[in-house]
Amino acid sequence: MRVRAALSVVLLFAACGERDSYRRPDGRFRVTAAIAATGPAGPTTAANALAAAPADAAIVVFAPAALPPEAQRGARRTLLVGGDGPLPAGIAAAITGANGADAAVDLALLHCHGIEIPARIPLGAQVLTTANQAAGGARQTGPGDVVLQLLRMQHAALLSGEPTTDVVFRLGFVQVRDDARSHRPRAAVQAAAQRHKRLVVSSKVADGSDANVDALVAGLVDEGCRAIVLASDGPLTLATATAKAAAQKVALLALDPTLSTPASCVLGCEPAQLGRAAAAALHQLVPAGCALVELHGEATAPQFAAARHAFHEALQLRPN
């Protein structure tokens, strides 16, 4: 069902022929250009679009499109949708998926104590602005955040960080590839595990292939890990590891923004949530409305198409 829904979003944008003109019925917001800003010609195409855009237009950059240089953006408000890390200089707002590492570690510890954990945790988005960055940004509540709050209240003693037993649990962690973006969840998982004192983390780094991740996860099961956290940017297929973990009653917790990896529990902020949060941020930044220039990657990529579709729906934008 999820695959069919994602495909329908992609087909929607394909059917629109990548139109560069969308408008809200009352005219408050209107997309004057939607530019594919990746590939060799991307920077030039984006520069030309920005040169022709109104001076008071807002720029909406959907990752993985690159952020244009400040000289090209000028004084225009710019929103960055997707990606991660701190707020870039000169950006009005950056919308990222909430970090699920703390939640994954808490759920792993609950599993180690024999407590059943949810199969799916849809997290909210994180909105960073210059005003709230020092405080860590503004967190949008997702359905999974409510479930997490109830679990944390119910099992506050176990999750307090104070040991309730002399047993030390081994927690596995696998990142899909060796890049800067993948290192961040590993650091967050290790920091969260240190707070619990009775968790020892064994980390592995894969080569980006499902087969290698599968082998590394299966190896961590053999090492005696009671729970394993996987960090990826998309769905994984782990036939051997999934079967082995189930047989050994090991919890697999997948940090996956598509919420599609078959696991004991999958956590992530769906692309549509990012799109809705971006629309809300734009409403706050420019309540009277403005022209919009969209820079994006491949329109056929389901994650980014879903974020753009949700952004358009929240702003009530329709093709002209």
Q: What is the pLDDT along the chain (320 residues), one digit of tens a residue?
A: 333 443 333 333 333 334 457 999 999 999 999 988 877 888 888 899 899 998 899 999 998 888 889 889 988 999 999 877 788 888 999 999 888 999 999 999 999 999 999 999 999 999 999 888 888 888 889 999 999 999 999 999 999 877 767 788 999 999 998 877 777 888 899 999 998 888 999 999 999 999 999 999 999 999 999 999 999 888 888 999 999 999 999 999 999 988 989 999 999 999 999 999 999 999 999 999 999 999 987 765 677 888 999 999 999 999 88
Please report, as a single letter, which amino acid is at residue 163.
P
The whole-model pTM stands at 0.84
Question: 72: how many CB neighbours lie within 10 A of its CB?
Answer: 17
Q: How far is CA 183 from the centre of its chain?
A: 15
CB atoms within 10 A of CB 165: 10
Q: How far apart are CA 6 and CA 101, in angstroms?
A: 25
pLDDT for position 41: 80
Q: What is the pLDDT of residue 3?
A: 39
Tokens 């079967």 map to which residue?
A: 243
Q: Is the CB of residue 233 less than 8 Å from the CB of residue 202?
A: no
Pick from 254, 259, 187, 174: nearest CA to 218: 174
As a 3-state breakdown, the chain gives helix, strand, coil percent values, each rounded to 5, of 40, 20, 40
Instruction: State the Cα–Cα distance between residues 146 and 165, nearest whole angstrom.
Output: 28
Tell me how far apart the alpha carbons of residues 87 and 128 are, in angstroms, rounded to a whole number. Answer: 6
Element housing 42 (H / E): helix 42-52
